[in-house]
Structure 1
Amino acid sequence: MARRLGLGIVAASLAVAWAAGAQAQVTAADKAAAIKVTGGKFVDKESGASCDAFIEPTNVKDLNGDGKPEIVVTGTGVFCYGGAEQGYWMLQKGPTGAWKIIDQNQGIPTYLPTRGVGGWQDVEIGGPGFCFPINRFNGKAYAFLRNKEYQRGACARR
């Protein structure tokens, strides 16, 4: 039991160190540039409500296994994103140093251990309900792979 606990602590420490390493590779200027690529602030045309974009510390991570961090910018607000109340942009830094959008969607992204072309993690896009799409990178863009059901029959009409 003590040995398992010790191994768990070591694994947790390595995960924290890895996350800190990814954070250290992304500067404040990188984050500002990534936000700028997404537009930064969105205004709903009908209501005039604004929705801000931000980068959470956990949203700087290596999503394709190349050792370089990608940034996930999150936007929130019911007027901009409907019932999911959230949207996201996945960005990768290109060879010129400019950030480019790899994926953009409405919903709450959950990165799965399964991977597509180039080692990019599959993304489950959550929101209201019990049936969520899983998208996979095909070498050019993220595309629908399958649905994941959290309640039997939830995906029957999709």
Structure 2
Amino acid sequence: MARRLPLGLCALLSVGPVLADTSDTGERMSRAEQLKVFGAAGFSDQPTDCQLEAEHYENYRPVTMDVVKDLNGDGRLDAIITEGSTLCCGFTGQGFFIVTKQADGEWRQVASGEGIPQFLPHRGVDGWPDIEIAGPGTRRPVLRYDGNTYKLLPQP
């Protein structure tokens, strides 16, 4: 089932760009391109299930494109999209989606999950950084890119 963008975000996209960190490239993303990014993460123009479930709670954070930059050094933009509430995402209160722009100009999701992604210096296939998933507790799982998607590394 596709996730849906909050109606307020759809209205924002119709009148102006969503601001995101593009500091490493200086590129600004058009509204049409932003919609492709959100679509690759599985969002549409309807309210998300998380938004509908959490609408009566004050801790809902709407779908946001937080970071847009080249994460793996291939010269193409990648984006991190977040949405959250403790109702939908547990104690971390955040879900994340990482999408990458392909050579053909299309966007593809490479990772998603609950928690706060923190990029580590070690890199997997194609230069993608390992991702530590921060959240409550002492165990922090690490994901590594395998050439197609991020997979959970075995815990010691």
Distance in 2 (CA, whole Å) between partners of 1:97 and 1:24 is 15
Contact 1:25–1:69 under 8 Å retained in 2: no
Paired residue for 1:43, among 35, 39, 49? 49
Matched ranges for 1:64-143 at <5 A: 64-143=72-151
Contact 2:69–2:79 under 8 Å retained in 1: yes
Gaps of 5+ in 2: 1-20
Structural RMSD (CA): 2.5
Q: Which has the larger radius of gyration?
A: 1
Structure with bigger RCO (C-alpha 8 Å, 6+ apart): 2
1:47-69 CA distances to partner (integer Å, 9 max, x unpaired)? Answer: 7325521112xx11211111212
**2:17 alignment partner in structure 1:** none
- Percent of aligned positions that are identical: 30
Q: How many pairs were matched up?
A: 128
1:80-127 CA distances to partner (integer Å, 9 max, x unpaired)? Answer: 111110011100112332211111111100011110011101000111
Contact 1:125–1:132 under 8 Å retained in 2: yes
> Relative to structure 2, which stretch is displaced further, 20-29 or 129-138?
20-29
CA spacing shift, 1:122–1:100, aligned 2, 3 Å: same
Q: TM-score, normalised by structure 1?
A: 0.70
Matched ranges for 1:18-57 at <5 A: 19-24=22-27, 26-37=29-40, 38-39=42-43, 41-44=47-50, 48-50=53-55, 52-56=62-66
Q: TM-score, normalised by structure 2?
A: 0.71
Q: Which amino acid aligns with 2:143?
A: N
**2:15 alignment partner in structure 1:** none
Distance in 2 (CA, whole Å) between partners of 1:70 and 1:25 is 13
Q: Which amino acid aligns with 1:30?
A: E
Shift in Å, 1:141: 1.5
**1:9 alignment partner in structure 2:** none
Shift in Å, 1:21: 4.0
Structure 1 runs (4+) greater than 4 angstroms displaced: none
